[in-house]
Structure 1
């Protein structure tokens, strides 16, 4: 039997991408919890380039970067396909995953966690990017059509984590009036029974994020 270990953290959307892929394929694994503020020697040894989670260890061999790991899992194990079989549709799924990671997440991070002019500019950028996503999701339940696929897994942070971060920060970037298709996709993703089963505790994530925005706030 293959030995499968995952260095990660249950509150991390990037760890969740990998866990979700492993669940889709029915692959058993051991989660080795990492503290992002106090990285273990093992993590630093196995991810020399980025020094961050997640890292999948399959039979002693490490694979880094969440979406690279998801592709590896899809190609290595039997079970439902995560990437489409059609080459064109596979390319489109990879395009949206890269768009989300390279464009949307950095802008979202600056808008929600930044300050002053940087945050204001990022909010404007987020609005334009969300318009693109909203248009792409028109008449579609998920990025891949009727079922969750590769691009949806890449977008998990935009579904679950983004909404809770908005609430914790008090900065609202998404409304149903402004981005109805994107808003509906987010609800569909979070409401999916299989996804819901493996999402982290909402209260725990909210508390964690709130402590970042209000580090000096005294507990009640």
Structure 2
């Protein structure tokens, strides 16, 4: 097990990208220190460690800096072998990476567009996100987790669907994840959030709602001033 000061994670409590890294560290039993960032007032440390994207998460391990959550997950998996996240078989590893890319580039990207748009653009983004979720439904069908019988890399990548997406749908008045249309995903989401490591490391729903309402109001106020 790593010394807590040897591993540091710069993050934001409400970020699903940060949480997926925390889940990986917790699953592997890696001790770490967290440094909470204010993304409206970024610290000099964050700007120094991630000068290109200036985003979280950022993992610091023994002085080495790793940015971007996908890369951090793979770094963690290759550095600490206990409780492997990615499959050993090269084909299965490639498949997991492919679906991670689909989930991020087709599902999450369109959800993000829907959160930040109105009218036809919003409806189109919801449609595309729903279609992408249908593809993911086909992958999880017949399985307990994307990683098989236990949580793996792809579960961590798609984990935001189980906890963040319902909150986003509530705050931004939209519907993408319909359990009746996606029963396999709904069953997976229930299992995922009940896993002890995940359940103990989820941001409080009520706090998320307040945070997102405040953020939405700030965005609307800035738009009205333009």
The normalised TM-score by structure 2 is 0.91
Alignment partner, residue 61 of structure 2: 58
Residue-by-residue CA offset, 1:6-39 (whole Å, 9 max, x unaligned): 1101111111111111111111111000011111
Cα deviation 1:86-132 (Å, max 9, x = unaligned): 11111111111111112211101112332122111101111211111
Q: Is the 8 A contact 1:17 1:67 kept in 2?
A: no
> What's the offset of the Cα at 1:140?
1.3
Q: Is the 8 Å Cα contact of residues 107 and 130 (structure 2) preserved in structure 1?
A: no
Could you tell me how far apart the structure 1 residues matched to 2:125 and 2:195 are?
30
SS at match of 1:198: coil
2:114 matched residue in structure 1: 111
* Offset at residue 214 of structure 1 (A): 4.0
Q: Is the 8 A contact 2:192 2:198 kept in 1?
A: yes
Contact 1:8 1:32 in 2 (8 A): yes
2:100 to 92, 97, 100: 97
Distance in 2 (alpha carbons) for counterparts of 1:197 and 1:57: 23
Of 86, 99, 121, which aligns to 2:124?
121
Q: Which 5+ residue runs of structure 2 have no aligned equivalent?
A: 222-226
Residue 82 of structure 1: aligned partner: 85
Instruction: Measure, in 2, the Cα distance between the counterparts of 1:101 and 1:130.
Output: 11
Residue from 54, 70, 74 that aligns with 2:73:
70
Equivalent in the alignment of 1:30: 33
Residue number in structure 2 paired with 1:200: 203
Q: Partners in 1 of 2:138 and 2:85 — Cα distance? A: 23
Match of 2:152 in 1: 149
**Which of 17, 21, 30 is the equivalent residue of 1:18?**
21
Aligned to 2:185: 182
> How many angstroms apart in 1 are the aligned matches of 2:111 and 2:90?
30
Aligned residues: CA RMSD: 1.6
TM normalised by structure 1 equals 0.93
How many residue pairs match? The answer is 217
Measured after TM superposition, the shift of residue 78 of structure 1 is 3.5
Q: Does 1:166 align with 2:169?
A: yes
